[in-house]
């Protein structure tokens, strides 16, 4: 006898497989077979079960399935900010979706404690794997999780204190490209403003810039300004660079936030008179003035590679940790071609 979904005696509760089995007059196991498209089920049994499923509005409980099978079919992504433009996250989602996996995205908000909270929570959920854009400066607390078999891949930066797969852009080559591009357009005093050297990418990019200066026999003093990305700090760095004894004629910005802070502080007029190459693409680049020449990261490659590294680790937990460096490309749009 069919029983409508809403009215099972006061308590609203979803029907389970046993309910469906009772309704269809078959064994529990048979319902499970039908739900999982097991071919070894007779057509009339299948039909009876299907009918019972629609009659009761049965929906399998994914949690129970996950508990029993051990796999969640979900990968976690702990990114710095959800709700902001993040092309790598889009690539992760597409790649994951293409193989039938669900993405659980969370935002660390640049907060180390929050990052830890999220990662531990993801481990407790026994996700199939985790991709993280690291914030914290020490991830040693993740070692037991890795040892316990939790696949972990970092994106954009490696994690300190543990050995894990990592995919990131070629920071050194990108900064080198930026410098050479400005140099080729006649600039001789080129300055760098970027992220703090406490973070890995900040260290790599500042070091690459110093190396580029050195390779051209230019002294570095007064030209390299890594540090926190705040409007005040960036403004101070700009003042130092542009209003000193020997003002710089060109600028390399080390992160997207640096670029935006620079543009906001200078305004379009002053910025247009400067040679500028920005590391990392800027949203709405075609609508911003001056039109920015950027070192573009292959964000979709990065996201896809992160998922692939994760899958490789899931398939073989014993494989050695691997670091993939993704090339970058220069996109000329004008700001880098301003003559000295």
Partner DNA sequence: TATCCTCGCGATAACGTTATCTCGAAGATG
Partner DNA sequence: CATCTTCGAGATAACGTTATCGCGAGGATA
- 62-91 footprint of a second copy as x/- string (CB under 8 A): xxx-xx----x--------xxxxxxxxxx-
Does 64 engage in binding with DNA (CB under 7 A)?
A: yes
What Å distances lie between residue 19 and 2, 32, 40, 42, 67, CA to CA? 11, 12, 22, 20, 20
Residue 106 in contact with a second copy, rule: CB under 8 A: yes
Q: Which does 231 bind (CB under 5 to 8 A by kind): a second copy, DNA, none?
A: none
Given 36, 125, 322, 323, the residue binding DNA (CB under 7 A): 36
Burial class, 194, CB count within 10 angstroms (exposed 0-12 / middle 13-18 / buried 19+): buried
Site for a second copy in 170-229 (CB under 8 A): none
Angle at 14 between CA 12 and CA 19, to 5 degrees: 120
Using the structure block, give the residue that is written with the tokens 């949690």: 63
Which residue, 142 or 248, is less far from a second copy as judged by CB? 142
Q: Is position 130 an interface residue for a second copy (rule: CB under 8 A)?
A: no
For position 68 contacting DNA by CB under 7 A, the verdict is yes
Backbone angles phi, psi at 248, to 5 degrees: -70, 150
Residue 266's SS3 state is helix
Give yes or no for a contact between 130 and 115, defined as CB atoms under 8 angstroms apart.
no
Site size toward a second copy, by CB under 8 A:
55
CB atoms within 10 A of CB 322: 13
Is 27 among the residues that bind DNA (CB under 7 A)? yes
Q: Which residues bind a second copy (CB under 8 A)?
A: 5-6, 12-14, 57, 59-64, 66-67, 72, 81-90, 93, 102-107, 120-121, 123-126, 144-145, 147-149, 260, 263-264, 268, 282-284, 286-289, 317
């Amino acid at each position: 006898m069919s029983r409508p979904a809403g009215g099972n005696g006061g308590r609203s509760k979803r029907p389970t497989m046993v309910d469906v089995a009772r309704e269809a007059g078959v064994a529990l196991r048979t319902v499970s077979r039908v739900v999982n498209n097991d071919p070894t089920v007779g057509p009339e049994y299948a039909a009876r079960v299907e009918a019972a499923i629609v009659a009761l509005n049965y929906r399998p409980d994914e949690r129970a399935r996950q508990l029993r099978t051990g796999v969640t079919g979900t990968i976690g992504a702990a990114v710095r900010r959800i709700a902001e433009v993040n092309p790598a996250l889009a690539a992760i989602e597409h790649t994951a979706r293409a193989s039938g996996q669900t993405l659980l995205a969370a935002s660390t908000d640049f907060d180390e404690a929050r990052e830890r909270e999220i990662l531990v929570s993801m481990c407790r959920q026994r996700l199939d794997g985790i991709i993280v854009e690291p914030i914290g400066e020490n991830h040693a607390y993740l070692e037991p999780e890795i040892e316990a078999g939790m696949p972990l891949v970092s994106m954009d930066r490696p994690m300190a204190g543990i050995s894990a797969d990592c995919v990131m852009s070629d920071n050194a080559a990108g900064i080198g490209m930026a410098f050479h591009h400005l140099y080729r357009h006649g600039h001789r005093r080129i300055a760098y403003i970027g992220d703090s050297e406490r973070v890995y990418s900040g260290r790599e990019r500042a070091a690459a810039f110093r190396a580029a200066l050195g390779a051209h026999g230019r002294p570095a003093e007064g030209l390299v300004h890594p540090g926190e990305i705040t409007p005040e700090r960036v403004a101070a760095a700009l003042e130092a660079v542009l209003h000193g004894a020997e003002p710089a004629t060109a600028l390399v910005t080390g992160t997207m936030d640096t670029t935006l802070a620079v543009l906001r502080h200078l305004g379009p007029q002053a910025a247009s008179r400067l040679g500028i190459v920005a590391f990392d693409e800027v949203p709405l680049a075609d609508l911003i003035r001056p039109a920015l020449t950027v070192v573009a990261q292959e964000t979709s490659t990065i996201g896809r590679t992160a998922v692939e590294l994760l899958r490789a680790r899931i398939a073989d937990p014993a494989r050695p940790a691997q670091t993939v460096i993704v090339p970058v490309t220069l996109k000329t749009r004008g700001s880098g071609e301003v003559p000295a």
